[in-house]
Structure 1
Amino acid sequence: MRLILIRHGQTPSNVAHLLDTGVPGPGLTELGLDQAAALPGALADENIEVLFVSTLVRTHLTAAPLASARGLEPVVRDGLREVVAGDLEMLSDHESVKTYLETVFGWSAGRTELRMPGGEDGTEFLGRYDAVIDEAAATGAGTVALVSHGAAIRAWVAARAANVDVEWAAEHALSNTGIVTLEGAPSDGWKVVTWEGQAVDLPEEPEDSGPTGQPLHEG
């Protein structure tokens, strides 16, 4: 199947560089609404049959123009929400963001026992995200789109895609309404086809690597 992961549009917390992961969360800025409105055109060539969103308001608003254009009713799943920041919620200082991202990419590198301070561990995060991906695959649709969150998408892709490693995901930010397209299945594994429109060509079985790259603000 074809799996399209879409980060939500810009929010006020993105502008302020805050680790804002709580439910229901903020809405979109004017730019964010414009980004959402552009999604139907950006995905015009994709035969999307099913559309999932997280429980956070920003994914609903981002998905609305696409849902309207395709006549789809978004399926809401809590498993697609952002990585819970816990004690780091609404912080923006360098050390907090660094801790957040090092924990997230630590999970992708296999250190799932790590726990976000006051939040979830890697087993919990990957388990909830995998469950939604499994549900999407079980629909039998050829192409499914999921509107989710920056850190969650990057962490899951780095953990599950054969051709994207932790270093790649850590060094490649995902813009608001940025799109990662994968092909595969839960039983066979996943391969990234494009990351924000660029083809991805990395070794099929990359060596494990630790988190690298400059801290990036997510949410």
Structure 2
Amino acid sequence: MTVILLRHGRSTANTSGVLAGRTPGIALDDLGLSQAGQLPGRLGGAVDQLSAVVRSPLQRCAETVAPLLSAVAARDVPELIVDDLAEVDYGEWTNRPLRELVHEPLWKTVQEHPSAAVFPGGEGISDVSRRAVAAIRRLDRELAGPDGRGLWVACTHGDVLKSVLADALGMHLDAFQRIIVDPASISVVHYAASRPHVHTVNNPGELRLPAAPAQAAAVGGATGGQDTPPAGAGYR
């Protein structure tokens, strides 16, 4: 299966300089709503292949996928709301200005050794990684068709996505701050039988999926679309 990992569009919290976390009522701003409206067009032909749209329970993710759900409504593509893809529980850091948080001793740990970071009264980044990675891998197995292939979308939050991508890239969680995942960006991971293959990270534009997802790495590197795909490869 192949998952399109989508960060929600720009929210009012993204521009306010406040760490909103799981605070209810955080909506997309005008740019974020525009980004959501552009999503079906950015996905192109992939829209017709989607088997599910999965999202975090928070409002900004619901608003981001709403235009996409309208585009697939005729095919009855299910919307799945998954608590394990929710934003990080920042505990006592929630709703505090980032300009204050940078002076907290924990801030340096979050930047340099995130696997050891536990937010006061909240959860640890290692816990976020475990729940998010487990959810994505479980959903990928459950959403696979009889042939084990398919395509789905998961809309969630920046640190959650960075945790999932770090796992797919085989990176230690302490390196996940090297990954950039902007609002409304698209990343693509194909979970093959042997290991994940990362096709795209932080794409702000139109999605370009390979004609057939790789099941194994090409010796010498890919040849720009001229490789012969393994028998039976494909999204459908």
3-state SS, counterpart of residue 45 of structure 2: coil
3-state SS, counterpart of residue 147 of structure 1: strand
3-state SS, counterpart of residue 129 of structure 2: helix
> How far apart are the structure 1 equivalents of 2:94 and 2:27?
17
Which residue is 1:145 aligned to?
153
In structure 1, what residue type is equivalent to 2:72?
R
| 1:183 paired residue among 190, 202, 222 | 190
Gaps of 5+ in 1: 205-219
3-state SS, counterpart of residue 177 of structure 1: coil
Q: Max radius of gyration: which structure?
A: 2
Pairwise CA distance, 1:116: 1.9
> How far apart are the structure 2 equivalents of 1:39 and 1:102?
35
Change (3 A) 1:57 1:76: same
8 Å Cα contact 1:115/1:121 also seen in 2: yes
Aligned residues: 194
Which residue is 1:161 aligned to?
168
Which residue is 1:93 aligned to?
98
Pairwise CA distance, 1:117: 2.1
In structure 1, what residue type is equivalent to 2:5?
L
8 Å Cα contact 2:113/2:174 also seen in 1: no
What are the within-5 Å matches in structure 2 for residues 20-39 of structure 1?
A: 20-39=20-39
> How far apart are the structure 2 equivalents of 1:167 and 1:132?
20
8 Å Cα contact 2:111/2:177 also seen in 1: no
Pairwise CA distance, 1:169: 4.4
8 Å Cα contact 1:85/1:100 also seen in 2: no
What are the within-5 Å matches in structure 2 for residues 121-140 of structure 1?
A: 121-137=124-140, 138-140=142-144
Do structure 1's residue 118 and structure 2's residue 121 form an aligned pair? yes
How large is the Cα RMSD of the aligned pairs?
Answer: 2.8
Residue-by-residue CA offset, 1:148-187 (whole Å, 9 max, x unaligned): 00111112211x12366668742443221111111115x6
Judge which range, 132-141 or 79-88, deviates more. 132-141
> How far apart are the structure 1 equivalents of 2:39 and 2:158?
16
8 Å Cα contact 2:7/2:158 also seen in 1: yes
Pairwise CA distance, 1:119: 1.0
| 1:54 paired residue among 53, 56, 64 | 56
3-state SS, counterpart of residue 165 of structure 2: helix
Change (3 A) 1:13 1:101: farther
8 Å Cα contact 1:161/1:190 also seen in 2: yes
> How far apart are the structure 1 equivalents of 2:20 and 2:26?
8
> How far apart are the structure 1 equivalents of 2:90 and 2:111?
10
Q: Identity across aligned pairs (percent)?
A: 27
8 Å Cα contact 2:23/2:94 also seen in 1: no
> How far apart are the structure 1 equivalents of 2:131 and 2:174?
23
Change (3 A) 1:191 1:94: farther
If the length of structure 2 is used for normalisation, what is the TM-score? 0.71
Change (3 A) 1:53 1:182: same
Which residue is 2:228 aligned to?
none
